[in-house]
Amino acid sequence: MILVISSANQLQQLMTQCLSKHCFLYDVVSNFDSAESLLSMQRYSLIIVQSQGKASCIERITSLIQRNPDVWIMALDSVCKDAQSAEVDDVDYYDAGVDDYLMGPFNERVFIARIKAHMRRCMPILSTSRIQGSEAQRIEAGPFSVDLRYHRATLNGQTLELTAREFSLIEYFCRHPNQVFSRIQLLSEVWGYNHEGYEHTVNSHINRLRAKLDSISSFKNGGQLVQTVWGVGYKLDVTGHVTSALSA
């Protein structure tokens, strides 16, 4: 189920026509207050937020993410801006915690491709639970434990408060401990799309993930477990820890 937040009638119509054409279920609201009301009653896997490229929008999106950490967020900015007039840019959106960002005139092919990429990330968890049973829903890698059934990740026994994208990122790292991945590989495997030029998206999410790992009091310098391999990418270093990656 998808929630669309858009106050622009024309853009809202383009998005909903596209979602209907591709048989996606969705609700539409025109403001954040109405969205919060629906979110208190309904579970959504994806929220699409139309932004105006203003700092105030970033603040509302940040609040939305904090209130709904398990939901993937896509920001869509149809206002064409030049570098001089823009209040915010794509880096600001990713730093705020969005999982995806689209800018410029509405492009149906790109829009629906990003949505399908998100859905592909959702479906394997459901199919795995049906085929392999509940035991395969738990991954352990060194001091990490990831429970896919309850969408819960822990470091040294302490629960990590992660957004949906951060959870997917740590899940992927735990499935492949000590293996080095380039930013492009992570974009493809975790985000579900492969576009050069979006590597800073990975950087922003890695930095936020490290900060949350550092906040775990029972594990010193947890952020250092996610290591930068210069000139290549990133890896989850659990050398010296017992590792058992189930359902890998």
User: pLDDT (tens digit, 9 = 90+) per residue, 31-47?
Assistant: 888 888 888 877 788 89
Mark whether 176 and 209 lie in a shared domain.
yes
Spatial contact of 198 and 209, defined as CB atoms under 8 Å apart: no
CA distances from 57 to 28, 63, 146, 178, 193 (A): 18, 10, 33, 38, 25
Most confident among 40-49, 52-61, 158-167, 235-244 (mean pLDDT): 158-167
What is the tally of structural domains in the chain?
2
Q: Which domain holds residue 183?
A: 133-244
Average pLDDT over residues 106-130: 69
Which is more confident, 104 or 182?
Answer: 182
190 part of a folded domain: yes
Mark whether 94 and 166 lie in a shared domain.
no
125 part of a folded domain: no
123 part of a folded domain: no
Most confident among 68-72, 133-137, 192-196 (mean pLDDT): 68-72
Mark whether 161 and 199 lie in a shared domain.
yes
Percent of the chain whose predicted confidence (pLDDT) is above 70 = 84
DSSP track, 19-78: HHHTT--EEEESSHHHHHHHHTT---SEEEEEE-S-HHHHHHHHHHHHH-TTSEEEEEE-
196 part of a folded domain: yes
Both tokens assigned to 97: 């915690």
Torsion sign, CA atoms 187, 189, 192, 193: positive
pTM for the structure as a whole? 0.62
Mark whether 65 and 142 lie in a shared domain.
no
Spatial contact of 142 and 238, defined as CB atoms under 8 Å apart: yes
**Strand ranges in the chain using DSSP code E only, listed in sequence order:** 2-5, 26-29, 46-51, 72-77, 100-103, 138-141, 144-147, 152-155, 158-159, 181-182, 226-229, 233-236, 243-244
pLDDT at 129 over 90: no
39 part of a folded domain: yes
